[in-house]
Amino acid sequence: MSGIESINARRRPIVRLGVFLISHSLIVSVICCIAAILALLLLPVLAKSTYVSENALMPGSANTMLSNQEVSEADRLVKDVNALSLESVDAGINIAKLIARYMADLGAEVCYHKFRRQQNQFNPLHFFLSTDPVVVQRNISCSSFGVNTVGVIRAPRGDGKEAIVLVTPYNSSRIDAAEASSLGIGYSIFSLLSQVTWLAKDIIWLAADSRFGVYAPVASWLKDYHTPLFSGLGQVNAGVCHESNDLLKLKDAMVSDTNISKIFTRAGTMAAALVVKVVDRHNEADEDTLSIFAEASNGQMPNLDLINIVNYLAVHRQGLRVKVEKFWSLLDSKFLNFVGETVELLGKVAKSLNPNWRFGMPVAEYVEGTATLASSLFNQALGVPTGPHGAFRDYQVDAITLEISPKGSLKSMGQRIDFLMRGGRLVEAVVWSVNNLLEKFHQSFFLYLLTSPSKFVSVGIYMIAFALLIAPLPIVAASLCSDANRRDSSLSKEGSSQPHASADEPNPTLKSWRWLHAAKSVFVIHFWSSLVTLLPHFISKMPSGTSASSLLIWLSLCILSLFLLYTILGSPFSHITTSRPQEWAILKSVTVSAAFIGLCLMSVINFATAEIGALLIVPMCLIACPLKLDLQDWSFRALIRAASNLTLVLIAFPPATFYLLKGGIEGSDSVSVGNFWNWLETLWAWNSATYLYIGMVHLPCWVLCLNILLHPR
């Protein structure tokens, strides 16, 4: 013992601290987990108010110039569009022609952009890349074409290096009054900007034909803008679609109107993009409201300054009520209300001690902030863009969607003009502000969560919770490993007294390599999980099948392949010998390390996914312990541990998690078996890294934990 003591004495303090933490891993992990959850709950309190960080933006420094003349012209366009949509059922191409004519009359350069519906295919080899542009699908029907109308205003004195993009989506097959007025807003801005002299950046107005969804037209326009094809496209179009009615009409339109360019019109590098959408909610709200959507694919966000200027201008100049998405169901949560009351109480106490300490906040504000934060976190974690702005982020362009909903009906002329004026002035002021920008958007945050339109949590604060969550993982892994080794060595000491036991382990030096077996089984599971991740690609190719049947096929294939792998490569249970009772501990240690590595990697790709994933995985991994041990013990503590193990494993099973969340958020009636499959399909269709995370980090970790639970010793 004196030898060990002297070794300890000679150790450096940092090593001693490490040893101390490892030896008290249980307390450390409990403290860390509780602290992490507390930190998460305190995030709305720690949120800071937003501020416009880039001075060059100068929002609201100029008076808006949008006048009644432009708005009444825009109203004429709205009326014309409405008349067209009443005239015929499928007014598609006529609306595009109408918009093009209006644009051309303003002196803008106009072109049509024809695109086809793109089947979002899961392409396992090009996961993070966009799909290969050379692949042309020939067997598509001719009706699956949409036509975008693109107008470009060249800045009179600008050098044309940069452009600002305005997008107004409309459904050409069934346009309603709200979409028509979003076209109206777009037109009023466009007609104003075609006359002004202060423009430094070109303006592109994209009237996106959203008959195949809002995202597809914008994404395909951006793809053609950035990676055009120079060969072969024309022939394919001509060869496939002779009979297409729309296309012929389009060609007629192109030929007849000389003002409309036959080639793709371009401007320079895009500085920012605004998607303007009008939604008629028929709500009881007494004000015009503006909802901001910002989440792009894989949790990427536009620069916070863009949201700041929109929020500033909407609130302080146009008097709109600004909202961001939130989970409404969380507003009634009793738990959150309780936490909010506690926070309020603490805040009051702190204020009574020192009036300068202002960290408390009212209950309602806290609950609302939490609901918004949860929605923000969830949307980022999902990795699916919340609107057409997501397409821009893939090309490093900052973009947001402004969804404006009017207080009154859009049917009456007076209210409509008033509404167009407000919406138009807001967009004009934002364009003016972005136009002032000499540099790229760089000054403000890119990694943040919103708790209200004017409050945010920056990365420096919200990563504390994640760091606290994953901190115990390596500690626990180390402690399990060292424990197992120590017990092993003590066992072998005992065993050395009995000569026949040593025959089992001929070479004592091999003992330190014991973890290799556990690592092999972990590797087998990970290998299986990557196979399973690729399986949906083949299942989706199968002709028949509802989503429920696909899900069942997938699950059965998973189980089948798991057992197949076990028989080929050996299961974790195959090497169990009585002399190694701590086998499960080693397995758990390796599992925990693998989970740690997976979470760290994921936090780089999509932080929100990693954070939510860590909330599920970390407790499950930390508690996991063979059920057999617990059941042998029959103590109260062991029983509780077994029960919590079982519930955690049940909750963390991906389909179960999904159904629970969905039931919790949307109510239990909406849940059906196929939902999970559909959800997975959307994930891979949007190239979301969350899918990879579920398949390659979460699922193997869950299976390994299950293995530990079912471990014979």
Partner 1 sequence: MLLPRQTRLALFLLSNLFFIPIAFSLVEEQEQFTEELLLKPLPDRKVLSHFHFQSRAPPTASYGHHHRLFPKAIYHLVHKYRIREMELSFTQGRWNYERWGGFDPISSNNAKPPGVELWAVFDVPEHLVDAYWKNLTHTLSGLFCASINFLESSTTYAAPEWGFRPFTGSLRYGSLPREAVCTENLTPWLKLLPCRDKAGLSALLERPSIYKGFYHSQQLHLTSAEFKSAELDSGIILEQTLTVVLQPGTKRTGLAYFQPSWSISSIFGKQITGKCVLAKSSSVFLQIESDAVSELKNLWKENGMSVKSNEMSKNLWSNPYFELSIAPDRVREASSFNSDSSSIFYEFFIQKYSRSESFDLGLTWKSPFVWSCPKAPLHATRFLMGSGNERGSVAITLRTTELNWRLMDADISEETCKLRVDIFQMVPWYVKVYYHTLLVFVDEKPQALIDVVERMHVSPSEDKVSPGLMELALKLPCRLNSAALTIEFSKGFLHIDEYPPDANQGFDIPSAVISFPSFKTRLHFPNDDSVSYLPLLSKLQASTFVCMQERSPVLSYTEVLLVPLTTPDFSMPYNVITITCTVFALYFGSLLNVLRRRVGEEERILKKKAANKKTNRISILLSKFFAKLRGRPWEPPESPVSSLSSPKLLLKVIVVAAVAAGWQYYSSK
Cα distance between residue 653 and residue 646, in whole Å:
11
Query: Nearest-CA neighbor of 700 among 576, 594, 611?
Result: 594
Q: Count Cβ atoms below 10 Å from residue 182 Cβ, excluding itself.
A: 27
Is 354 a binder of partner 1 (CB under 8 A)? yes
226 binds partner 1 (CB under 8 A): yes
The pairing of beta strand 145-153 with beta strand 202-209 = antiparallel
Q: Give the whole-angstrom CA distance, residue 558 versus residue 529.
A: 9
Strand-pair partners of 167 = 206, 275
- Contact between 599 and 470 (Cβ < 8 Å): yes
Which H or E run contains 217? Answer: helix 215-226
What single letter denotes the amino acid at residue 15? Answer: V
Question: Minimal distance in Å, beta carbon 462 to partner 1?
Answer: 21
> Is residue 395 involved in binding partner 1 (CB under 8 A)?
yes
What element of type H or E holds 312? helix 304-316
Q: Could you tell me the smallest distance in angstroms from the CB atom of residue 395 to partner 1?
A: 4
Q: Contact between 157 and partner 1 (CB under 8 A)?
A: yes
Judged by CB under 8 A, which stretch of 309-317, 390-398, 559-567, 640-648 contacts partner 1? 390-398
Q: In terms of CB distance, is 348 or 411 closer to partner 1?
A: 348
Name the strand (E) or helix (H) holding 448.
strand 448-452
> Which helix (H) or strand (E) segment is 203 a member of?
strand 202-209
Q: Is 234 in the site for partner 1 (CB under 8 A)?
A: yes
Give the chain's radius of gyration (CA, Å).
Answer: 30
The H or E element containing residue 191 is: helix 177-193
Contact pattern for partner 1 over residues 594 through 633, marking x by CB under 8 A:
----------------------------------------
Binds partner 1 by CB under 8 A, chosen from 79, 249, 266, 511: 266
| CA atoms of 405 and 279, how far apart (whole Å) | 5
Given the rule CB under 8 A, which of 11-19, 463-471, 506-514, 618-626 is the region that contacts partner 1? 11-19
Q: Of the candidates 35, 72, 154, 547, which one interacts with partner 1 according to CB under 8 A? A: 154
Q: In 3D, which of 182, 180, 240, 170 has the Cα closest to residue 208? A: 170
258: three-class secondary structure by DSSP:
coil
Per CB under 8 A, the list member of 80, 209, 344, 394 interacting with partner 1 is 394
Two tokens, residue 180: 């028509």
Among the listed ranges 58-66, 239-247, 265-273, 695-703, the one in contact with partner 1 (CB under 8 A) is 265-273
Instruction: Compare residues 124 and 133 and give the one whose CB is closer to partner 1.
Output: 133
Residue 356 as a binder of partner 1 (CB under 8 A): the answer is yes
Residues in the interface with partner 1 (CB under 8 A) total 45
Closest CA to 246 of 141, 170, 333: 141
> Judged by CB under 8 A, which stretch of 59-67, 352-360, 612-620, 624-632 contacts partner 1?
352-360
* Gap between the Cα atoms of 179 and 168, Å rounded: 8
Segment near partner 1 (CB under 8 A), from 34-42, 223-231, 460-468, 652-660?
223-231
Choose which of 37, 143, 173, 268 interacts with partner 1 (CB under 8 A).
268
The stretch near partner 1 (CB under 8 A) out of 222-230, 310-318, 374-382, 649-657 is 222-230
Q: Does 13 bind partner 1 (CB under 8 A)?
A: yes
Chain Cα centroid distance, residue 371? 16
Cα–Cα distance measured from residue 163 to residue 155, given in angstroms and rounded to the nearest whole number: 9
The binding track of 84-113 with respect to partner 1, each residue x by CB under 8 A or -, is ---------------------x-x------
Torsion sign (Cα): 536, 539, 545, 550: negative
Q: Which of 124, 156, 508, 667 binds partner 1 (CB under 8 A)?
A: 156
Shortest separation between residue 217's beta carbon and partner 1, angstroms: 18
Contacts of 678 (CB under 8 A, 6+ apart): 547
CB of 699 to partner 1, least distance (A): 31
Using the rule CB under 8 A, is 17 a contact of partner 1?
yes
The H or E element spanning position 252 is helix 245-256
| Consecutive H or E run containing 2 | helix 2-10
Question: What DSSP character marks residue 375?
Answer: H
Interacting span for partner 1 (CB under 8 A) from 210-218, 230-238, 376-384, 630-638: 230-238
Cβ atoms within 10 Å of 695's Cβ, excluding its own: 22
Subset of residues 158 to 217 that bind partner 1, contact rule: CB under 8 A: 158-162, 195, 197
State both tokens at 20.
Answer: 């101390």
How many whole angstroms separate alpha carbon 259 and alpha carbon 514? 77
16 forms part of the interface with partner 1 (CB under 8 A)? yes
Distance CA 488, CA 509 (A): 12
**Binding string to partner 1 for residues 466 to 505, with x set by CB under 8 A, is what?**
----------------------------------------
* Residue 403 within binding range of partner 1, rule CB under 8 A: no
Pairing mode, strands 145-153 and 109-116: antiparallel
Q: Closer to partner 1 at the Cβ: 263 or 604?
A: 263
Contacting partner 1 (CB under 8 A), which of 396, 409, 412, 632? 396
Q: What are phi and psi of 295, to 5 degrees?
A: -70, 125
The two structure tokens encoding residue 385: 């863009």
Q: How far is CA 168 from CA 57, 189, 283, 477, 655, in A?
A: 23, 12, 22, 53, 37
| Least distance in angstroms from the C-beta of 230 to partner 1 | 4
Taking the complex as a whole, how short is the minimal distance between the CB of residue 708 and partner 1, in angstroms?
Answer: 30
In 3-state terms, what secondary structure has residue 272? strand
Which of residues 134, 439, 500, 568 is near partner 1 by CB under 8 A? 439
Stretch that binds partner 1, among 7-15, 331-339, 579-587, 648-656 (CB under 8 A): 7-15
Quote the least distance from Cβ 463 to partner 1, whole Å.
17
Segment near partner 1 (CB under 8 A); pick from 119-127, 308-316, 353-361, 664-672: 353-361
For residue 159, the minimal CB distance to partner 1 (Å) is: 4
CB of 227 to partner 1, least distance (A): 6
> Which of 125, 438, 503, 604 forms a contact with partner 1 (CB under 8 A)?
438
Q: Is 126 in the site for partner 1 (CB under 8 A)?
A: no
Write down the least CB distance from residue 231 to partner 1, Å: 5
- The residue (of 124 and 232) whose beta carbon lies closer to partner 1 is 232
> Do the beta carbons of residue 313 and residue 429 sit within 8 Å?
yes
Q: Which of 67, 86, 228, 359 binds partner 1 (CB under 8 A)?
A: 228
Q: Which residues bind partner 1 (CB under 8 A)?
A: 5, 8-9, 11, 13, 16-17, 19-20, 105, 107, 154, 156-162, 195, 197, 226-228, 230-235, 263, 266, 268-269, 354-356, 394-396, 438-440, 442-443
